[in-house]
Structure 1
Amino acid sequence: MPQSLCPQNPPIETRLQRQVVDLIPALRAFARTFTSTPFDADDLVQETLFRALRSIDRFKPGTNLKSWLFTIMHNAFRTQYKVRKREAPGTTNCAELPLPTAATQDWIVMDRELRVALDTLSPEHREVLVLVAGYGLSYKEAADHCTCAIGTIKSRLSRARDELAEHMHGNPLL
């Protein structure tokens, strides 16, 4: 009888498969050190078994089967971890969340409205508003630029903001 059909001497791959099955409890225990839920641990064990049995012919007899399986599990976990980090799932109710950015056409309309409203301001108010709110200058820097007192800058800025909000239909931008 050929060796593969003889029940006393099963082929090496069959013996290895049985040994792999015998190591499943150890694989489960090791998988729990990587994952936070038993379900994820079982998935990791299943992936490890799939990879191990798929490439059982690469196992070198005489080496430690348990270490080989643990290495496969560790590599499977690292691969899954990288994929999860790269392809993180969205939130469960992502359809209910607000859009991360406003639609661009709204900004175009508001930009146009803002430019029209800025043109209605007096030159002094427009200049102070652009210097402080637009360029981010301090009151002192704006006062130095306009050669006037800081109080004058504050007053002009306040009036400019009020006028601008009125022209923007009560939608204060600044």
Structure 2
Amino acid sequence: MPMVEEKDDFKRLMLAALPALRAFAVSLAGQPDKADDLVQDTIMKAWGKRDSFIMGTNIKAWLFTILRNEFYSQMRKRGREVQDTEGYHTQRLAVHPAQYGSLDLQDFRHALSQLPDDQREAIILIGASGFSYEEAAEICGCAIGTIKSRVSRARVRLQELLNVTGNYDYGPDNMSAQVTMRSF
């Protein structure tokens, strides 16, 4: 009988995680219908691998890992193909220079490396890994308020290191924005 109860517990926990899974899928896929397909694929894989899940551990993190891996697997399979037999999309194609993004990422990584370990860990768990403050506090073995404080201090320090003062400090400069935003 314990196997039936464990299966029911797994099912209940998995169903409780669906809203968060869908939100994460929408943020990755960008489209609700593709996100729903991604969540469905994730649930199917998780159900098939339920024997490898250890009850009492973080099912949300386990499911998010499956979803993320599934998303990137699908992206690799699909590649960057677009149906454009008439060349309509190709004629309208304009992108920002890639080197700016690479340089910005390089600057960000350098600034991130200058943060104290506890602040870097907190901001990565919250900002990049998608954990809640409660989950991050549990992972770090500290109070929720401590995590919130570390994230806040890390954000302020990153703004200082990157010389960010407002929304206009993000994205392309004014000249390249005008070029890529023009309509044909």
Please report the TM-score for the alignment, with normalisation by the length of structure 1: 0.46
Higher RCO structure, 1 or 2 (CA under 8 Å, sep 6+): 2
